[in-house]
Amino acid sequence: MPNKLNDLDSKTWLKFQKSWFIHNPPPRKKGVLRHPAKFPETMAQEFIEFFTKRGESVLDPMAGTGSTLVAALRCGRNSYGIELNPGYAQIAKEVVAQEKASLADPQVAGSLVAEVIRGDAQKAGEYGIPQIDYVLTSPPYWDMLHAKGAENQKKRRESDELDVTYSDDPNDLGNLHDYEIFLERLVLIYTGLKPLLRQKAYLTIIVKNIKKGGKIYPLAWDLARELGKVYTLKDEKIWMQDNQPLAPFGMGSAWVSNTFHHYCLQFRND
């Protein structure tokens, strides 16, 4: 049968269809370590290779330090990224330029677009981005980077080189403290991408539910429900991390899990 979706062989296709996977990424490089919540290029490449063909275009509306664009370059796809924080946007531009220069075939590198746009994802339709074949992104996990109790946040506060939060920008969704307003704004951003997506294009959102104040806020499930009204919710893949240290949360008194999984929600623009 002709493969209309990607360039993969049958064995690789079947392996990706598994509903869960373990991915423990390599250590982050110093420049991108500044960003407090980055998903790995190695994992992004697997998703891009499944949902696109070579030469097609990928968008990340919350590009951070450029993971999606780097992954797209590595597998021969054009890419666009929007980033609100000017510092991260500059890092992303430098990382993307370095990756492009390192590609084995200079002719291929020269033909690929990898554009970092310093802007607001809420205005994605205003940046002249051409038709997109796939969106791969991860949102801020509400205002959790403002939480003071997490061990990794304590370490970041003790460093002059690592950011604790994404930014101080009021347009940054990570600075919204009302969950319902945060969710509404996030849904509007993803809904606003619809005119950019070609028909039948997929959108993958990597996200997890949030624990705050002894309560769970089902961000992944809320996004699935709300965006399912705009796009077709096709499925989920669960990204599991088995290299994280366990902590004795609530030991002896209450149930508090060690959460080492993310939901990779798959939507289609039908």
Domain ranges, residue 14: 10-268
pLDDT at 35: 42
Residues 6+ apart with CB under 8 A from 8: 16, 49, 50
pTM over 0.75: yes
Q: Domain tally for the chain?
A: 1
Q: Residue 3 falls within a domain, yes or no?
A: no
Q: Residue 163 falls within a domain, yes or no?
A: yes
Q: Residue 61 falls within a domain, yes or no?
A: yes
pLDDT at 233: 98
Question: Distance of alpha carbon 123 from its chain centroid, rounded?
Answer: 18
Which segment, 42-51, 96-105, 133-142, 243-252, is predicted with the most confidence on average?
42-51
Question: Distance of alpha carbon 200 from its chain centroid, rounded?
Answer: 20
Helix H, strand E, coil C: the string for the chain is CCCCCCCCCHHHHHHHCCCEEECCCCCCCHHHHCCCCCCCHHHHHHHHHHHCCCCCEEEECCCCCCHHHHHHHHCCCEEEEEECCHHHHHHHHHHHHHHHHHCCCHHHHHHCCEEEEECCHHHHHHCCCCCEEEEEECCCCCCHHHCCCCHHHHHHHCCCCCCCCCCCCCCCHHHCCCHHHHHHHHHHHHHCCHHHEEEEEEEEEEECCEEECCEEECHHHHHHHHHCCCCEEEEEEEEECCCCCCCCCCCCCCCCCCCCEEEEEEEECC
- Mean pLDDT within 119-123: 95
Residues 6+ apart with CB under 8 A from 34: 65, 87, 88, 91, 161, 162, 163
The pLDDT > 70 percentage for the chain reads 85
Q: What tokens appear for 87 in the block?
A: 């510092």
Q: Residue 120 falls within a domain, yes or no?
A: yes
Model confidence band, residue 107 (pLDDT cutoffs 50, 70, 90):
confident
pLDDT at 39: 75
Residues 162 and 32: their CA atoms lie apart, in Å, by 9
**Residue range 186-233, pLDDT digits in tens:** 999 999 999 999 999 999 999 999 988 888 999 999 999 999 999 999
Query: Is residue 72 predicted with pLDDT exceeding 50?
Result: yes
Q: Which residues pair with 48 in a beta bridge?
A: none
CATH number of the domain that residue 125 is part of: 3.40.50.150
**Residue range 139-176, pLDDT digits in tens:** 988 767 656 555 554 554 554 555 555 556 677 787 88
pLDDT at 105: 83
- Mean pLDDT within 46-72: 96
Between 105 and 50, name the one with better pLDDT. 50
Q: What tokens appear for 123 in the block?
A: 């205005």
Residues 137 and 2: their CA atoms lie apart, in Å, by 28
Q: Residue 2 falls within a domain, yes or no?
A: no
**Residue range 11-43, pLDDT digits in tens:** 999 999 999 999 987 765 655 444 445 678 999
Residues 263 and 19: their CA atoms lie apart, in Å, by 10
